[in-house]
């Protein structure tokens, strides 16, 4: 099975053939993580509803939770207006982050410079 040609034509990939994938928790709206995909990873995700990503460091595909049990079941997938990012709306089981946190964004808020009395 190949990625739908109309969808493939809308994707904008980087020089390595990759695009960004953002996983968002369906129930809470929390952004869980950001990872990379290519056409094959997206095709597998759409076929199985199991979030499949491409690891740049290992140069291989990985299904979220395959080894950890911290799975992502994909309910919705949307391409952004530029075609360079896919949003996956998921049910997350366990931690999404490799650190063990629920979200990779469970971190302190960055400090803003004060602007005219704010």
Domains of the chain, by residue range, sit at 5-92
What is residue 2's predicted lDDT score, i.e. its pLDDT?
86
CATH topology of domain 5-92: Ubiquitin-like (UB roll) (3.10.20)
1-48 per-position pLDDT tens digit: 789 999 999 999 999 999 999 999 999 999 999 999 999 999 999 999
**Is residue 117's pLDDT more than 70?**
no
Block residue for tokens 């996983």: 23
58-115 per-position pLDDT tens digit: 999 999 999 999 999 999 999 999 999 999 999 999 999 999 999 999 999 999 988 7
Pairing of strands 31-37, 52-55: unpaired
Q: Show the 3-state SS of 52-87.
A: EEEECCCCEEEECCCCCCCCEEEEEEEECCCCCEEE
Question: How many Å apart are CA 31 and CA 5, to the nearest integer?
Answer: 29
């Amino acid at each position: 099975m190949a990625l739908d040609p109309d969808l493939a034509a809308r994707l904008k990939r980087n020089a390595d053939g990759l695009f960004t994938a953002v996983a968002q928790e369906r129930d809470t709206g929390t952004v869980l993580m950001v990872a990379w995909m290519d056409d094959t990873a997206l095709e597998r995700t759409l076929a199985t509803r199991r979030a499949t990503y491409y690891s740049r460091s290992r140069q291989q595909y990985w299904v979220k939770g395959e080894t950890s049990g911290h799975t992502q079941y994909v309910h919705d997938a949307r391409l952004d207006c530029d075609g360079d990012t896919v949003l996956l709306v998921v049910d997350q089981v366990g931690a999404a982050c490799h650190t063990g946190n629920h979200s990779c964004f469970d971190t302190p808020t960055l400090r803003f410079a004060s602007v005219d009395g704010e």
